[in-house]
A and B are shown apart, each in its own frame.
Chain A
Amino acid sequence: MTQLALVIDLNVCVGCQACVTNCKEWNTSGDAGPMVDQNPYGKDPTGTFFNRVQTFEVGEFPNTETIHFPKSCLHCEDPPCVPVCPTGASYKRKEDGIVLVDYDKCIGCKYCSWACPYGVREFDESQKVMKKCTLCVDRIYDPNMTEEERRPACVRACPTSARLYGDIHDPESEVSHAIREAGGYQLMPEWGTSPANHYLPRRKTKLRLRHDEIERADNPLKIDGLLPKPSKSEPSLDDVTSW
Chain B
Amino acid sequence: MHPAFSVIFLTTLIGVGQGLFLALFTAQSYALFDLLPKQDGHAFYAHGSLIALLFLIGGLVASFFHLGRPERAWRSATQWRTSWLSREVIVLPAFMGTVFLYGIAHLFDFKPVVATLPGGIAIDLTVVIGAVGWVLAFALYVCTGMIYACLRFLREWHSSLTVINYILLGGASGFTLATVFAAAAAPDLVRFFAGWAAIITLLGLVSRAASLVRNARLKPKSTLQSAIGIKHPKIVQKAQGFMGSSFNTREFFHGKSVGFLRSIKWIFLLLAFVVPALLLATALTGVGALGLMLIAFVVQYLGLMAERWFFFAQANHPQNLYYQAIG
Contacts and interface: CB of A to CB of B under 8 A. Distances in A.
Contacts, number: 176
B1 A114 contact: yes
Interface string B237-261: 1111111111110011000000000
A119 B322 contact: yes
Contact of A20 (B69, B83, B241): B241
Contact of B69 (A17, A54, A88, A129): A129
A56 B236 contact: yes
Contacts of B47: none
Contact of B67 (A58, A60, A109, A202): A109
Given A117-B222, A191-B152, A107 B67 contact: yes
Given A87-B78, A113-B251, A188-B227, A105 B72 contact: yes
A52 B240 contact: yes
B242 A52 contact: yes
Interface in B79-93: 79, 82-86, 89
Interface in A79-118: 80, 82-89, 105-111, 113-118
Contacts of B322: 54, 71, 118-119
Contact of A58 (B66, B75, B221, B234): B234
A107 B73 contact: yes
Interface in B120-176: 147, 150-154
Contact of A83 (B82, B230, B243): B82
Interface residues of B, number: 58
A186 B222 CA distance: 13
B320 to A, nearest CB: 8
Given A56-B237, A123-B251, A115 B226 contact: no
Interface string A36-60: 0001000011111100111111111
A114 B151 contact: yes
Interface string A56-69: 11111000001101
A185 B252 contact: no
Contacts of B234: 58-60
Contacts of A66: 238
Interface string B35-75: 00000000000000000000000000000001111101101
Q: Which 4 pairs show the lowest CB-CB distances between chains A and B?
A: A108-B68, A119-B319, A128-B68, A52-B241
